Structure 1
Amino acid sequence: MQIRYAFSELGTGLRRNVTMTVAVVVTVWISLVLFGLGLLVRSEVALVKGFWYDKVQIAVFMCNDVSSSPQCADGAVSGAQRTEIEQALSTNPEVRKVYHESQQQAYARYQEIYKDAATADIVKPVDLQESFRVSLKNPEQYQGVQSAVQGLPGVFSVQDSREVLEPLFKGLNGLQWISIGLAGGLLIAGVLQIGNTIRLTVFSRRREIGIMRLVGASNFYIQLPFIVESVVAALVGAALACGTLAFTPWVTAKLRTDVRVVPWIGWEETITTMPVLAALGILLAIIASFITLRKYLTV
Structure 2
Amino acid sequence: MKLGFILGEVGTGLRRNLSMVVSVVLVTFISLTFVGTAALMQMQITQMKGYWYDKVQVAIYLCGEHNESSNCTEGAVTEGQRGEIESMLGSSAVKPYVDNFEYESKEQALAHFQEQFENSSMSETVTAEQLPESFRVSLVDPEKYQIIKELFSSTDGVDVVVDQRELLEKIFSIINIASFVAIGIAGVMILCAVLLVGTTIRLSAYLRRRETGIMRLVGASKSSLQLPFVLEGIIAALVGALLASGVLWAAVRFLVDEKLAIEYKDTAFISTGEVLIVAPWLILLGVVLAGVSSLVTLRRYLKV
Q: Is the 8 A contact 1:89 1:145 kept in 2?
A: no
CA distance in 2: counterparts of 1:255 and 1:69, whole angstroms: 38
Q: In structure 2, do the counterparts of structure 1 residues 134 and 66 end up closer, same or farther at CA, with 3 Å as the change threshold?
A: same
Q: Deviations along 1:212-247, whole A, 9 cap, x unmatched?
A: 444444332322111111111111112222222231
TM superposition score normalised by structure 1:
0.85
Q: Deviations along 1:246-272, whole A, 9 cap, x unmatched?
A: 312122112222343423322211211
Structure 2 residue aligned with 1:290: 295
Deviation at 1:183, TM superposition (A): 1.9
Question: For residue 267 of structure 1, what is the amino acid of its counterpart?
Answer: T
Secondary structure at the aligned position of 1:116 is classed as helix
Q: In structure 2, do the counterparts of structure 1 residues 160 and 88 end up closer, same or farther at CA, with 3 Å as the change threshold?
A: farther
Secondary structure at the aligned position of 2:270 is classed as coil
Count of residue correspondences: 294
CA distance in 2: counterparts of 1:264 and 1:9, whole angstroms: 46
CA distance in 2: counterparts of 1:245 and 1:128, whole angstroms: 42
CA distance in 1: counterparts of 2:131 and 2:8, whole angstroms: 80
RMSD (CA atoms): 2.8
Structure 2 residue aligned with 1:270: 275
Secondary structure at the aligned position of 1:196 is classed as helix
Equivalence map 1:149-168=2 (5 Å): 149-168=152-171
Q: In structure 2, do the counterparts of structure 1 residues 18 and 103 end up closer, same or farther at CA, with 3 Å as the change threshold?
A: closer
Question: For residue 149 of structure 2, what is the amino acid of its counterpart?
Answer: Q
CA distance in 2: counterparts of 1:232 and 1:111, whole angstroms: 55
CA distance in 2: counterparts of 1:100 and 1:134, whole angstroms: 9
Structure 1 residue aligned with 2:124: 116
Structure 1 residue aligned with 2:286: 281
Structure 2 residue aligned with 1:17: 17
CA distance in 1: counterparts of 2:222 and 2:98, whole angstroms: 67
CA distance in 2: counterparts of 1:208 and 1:108, whole angstroms: 79
Deviation at 1:2, TM superposition (A): 6.3
Q: Deviations along 1:45-94, whole A, 9 cap, x unmatched?
A: 22233332222111112345655545445563425632443135973534
**Further displaced range: 210-219 or 276-285:** 210-219
Q: In structure 2, do the counterparts of structure 1 residues 243 and 148 end up closer, same or farther at CA, with 3 Å as the change threshold?
A: same
Equivalence map 1:223-262=2 (5 Å): 223-248=226-251, 249-252=253-256, 253-262=258-267
Deviation at 1:289, TM superposition (A): 0.7
Equivalence map 1:98-113=2 (5 Å): 98-106=101-109, 108-109=111-112
The share of aligned pairs that are identical, in percent, is 40
CA distance in 1: counterparts of 2:290 and 2:141, whole angstroms: 44
Q: Is the 8 A contact 1:94 1:136 kept in 2?
A: yes
Structure 2 residue aligned with 1:176: 179
Q: In structure 2, do the counterparts of structure 1 residues 282 and 261 end up closer, same or farther at CA, with 3 Å as the change threshold?
A: same
Equivalence map 1:69-218=2 (5 Å): 69-72=69-72, 76-77=77-78, 78=80, 81-87=84-90, 91-106=94-109, 108-109=111-112, 115-117=123-125, 119-120=126-127, 123-124=128-129, 129-218=132-221
**Further displaced range: 283-292 or 179-188:** 179-188
Secondary structure at the aligned position of 1:132 is classed as strand
Q: Is the 8 A contact 2:89 2:98 kept in 1?
A: no
Secondary structure at the aligned position of 1:163 is classed as helix
Q: Is the 8 A contact 1:194 1:230 kept in 2?
A: yes
Secondary structure at the aligned position of 2:193 is classed as helix
Secondary structure at the aligned position of 1:60 is classed as strand
Deviation at 1:128, TM superposition (A): 5.3
Q: In structure 2, do the counterparts of structure 1 residues 140 and 108 end up closer, same or farther at CA, with 3 Å as the change threshold?
A: same
Deviation at 1:192, TM superposition (A): 0.7
Q: In structure 2, do the counterparts of structure 1 residues 178 and 214 end up closer, same or farther at CA, with 3 Å as the change threshold?
A: same
Gaps of 5+ in 1: none
Question: For residue 301 of structure 2, what is the amino acid of its counterpart?
Answer: Y
Structure 1 residue aligned with 2:40: 40
Q: Deviations along 1:139-171, whole A, 9 cap, x unmatched?
A: 344222222322234432111112322222222
Q: Deviations along 1:90-140, whole A, 9 cap, x unmatched?
A: 7353432222224554455456665401x52xx54xx75432211123434
CA distance in 2: counterparts of 1:132 and 1:147, whole angstroms: 15
Q: Is the 8 A contact 2:89 2:95 kept in 1?
A: no
Question: For residue 12 of structure 1, what is the amino acid of its counterpart?
Answer: T
**Further displaced range: 161-170 or 103-112:** 103-112
Q: Is the 8 A contact 2:100 2:138 kept in 1?
A: yes
Q: Is the 8 A contact 1:35 1:180 kept in 2?
A: yes
